[in-house]
Homo-oligomer: A and B are copies of this chain.
Amino acid sequence: MSTTAKTPGTGDSGNSDFARAGAHGQSRSVPRSESEDPAPKRRAGRPRTSVLSRRLILETGLRLIDEVGAHGVGMRAIAKELGVRPSALYNHVAGQDELVAGVRELISDRIPVDMFVREPWDVALAEWAVGYRRTFAAHPPTIALLAVLPLSEDSVTSQMYDTVISALMRGGWPADRALTLMVALESFILGSALDLAAVDDMMDPGPRRDVPAFSEAYRSRAEHLAARGEGPAEASFQLGLRALFTGFRAEYAALGLAPTSAGAHEAPPAHR
């Protein structure tokens, strides 16, 4: 295989795919686009055979999804991008379902959860929401894809959820309510991530006379935001987050909830 070949081989044996990946020239390595995520960068001199890993396959899948959208990014496209046969990928990723699940794991794994071991439930939960939104907004095409994806049985996303729900339960929330609340917050986070991924003037009604209140609001918002140096998506996220937590705390107070004897600040078993 030449160093410029990006198409997979046509043979039916996958045995030599590691060697094929290793045959790439040092200066070329894995073919990449200019807009790539820098995460999978390799050190010079590291054995080429380590190029083809589950991690690299998932990182490549995520990069392709970011570049061309969620549709059509499958094992074949990733193999082509990596310059190996599709069959070689199956040593690391069982198929399309595991690929999509794995991409979700990659993203979930970047959402900070360490605040849950040191902050009260509401402070930690709000910080989690901020990090969660920021992480997903960096990969807009994944939002709708992953928002409806069932959890696999070894998902690290489940570990993140466990950390969140543990913290809510230590705070005094009943288990069932903790889950319902987390999902409600997650809906706001994912909707806000979509909003953050849109252009800032998405809500511009344009020059028209039949929507005077909307037009006035759009102009007025632009002035207020310019004065504060804040983006429109950020302003709405902050207003919504504040409102949600006012409501969560009111519900907490109304239910007469209190932290369990384990205490909100005792070191819980964090997963990461």
Contacts and interface: CB of A to CB of B under 8 A. Distances in A.
Interface string A26-50: 0000000000000000000000000
A161 B191 contact: no
A143 interface: yes
Contact of A189 (B154, B158, B191): B191
A200 to B, nearest CB: 10
A219 to B, nearest CB: 8
Interface string A93-121: 00000000000000000000000000000
Interface string A140-158: 1101100111111111001
Which residue, A143, A169, A251, has most C-beta atoms of chain B within 10 A?
A: A143
A157 B111 CA distance: 34
Contacts of A233: 183
B158 A211 contact: yes
A205 B220 CA distance: 46
A206 interface: yes
Interface residues of A, number: 84
Contacts of A229: none
A202 B244 contact: no
B158 A148 contact: no
Interface in A210-242: 210-218, 220-221, 223-225, 232-233, 235-237, 239-240, 242
Task: Please state the number of chain copies in the assembly.
Answer: 2
A162 interface: yes
A78 to B, nearest CB: 18
A267 interface: no
A194 B247 contact: no
A175 interface: yes
A208 B154 CA distance: 8
A11 interface: no
Given A148-B197, A194-B187, A236-B183, A165 B243 contact: no
Interface string A178-210: 111101111111111011011101111111101
A60 interface: no
A202 B149 CA distance: 7
Given A153-B208, A165-B214, A191-B194, 19 more contacts: A141-B144, A144-B144, A149-B202, A151-B202, A151-B206, A161-B211, A162-B212, A162-B214, A176-B221, A178-B217, A179-B217, A179-B221, A183-B203, A184-B243, A188-B188, A188-B191, A242-B251, A243-B247, A246-B246
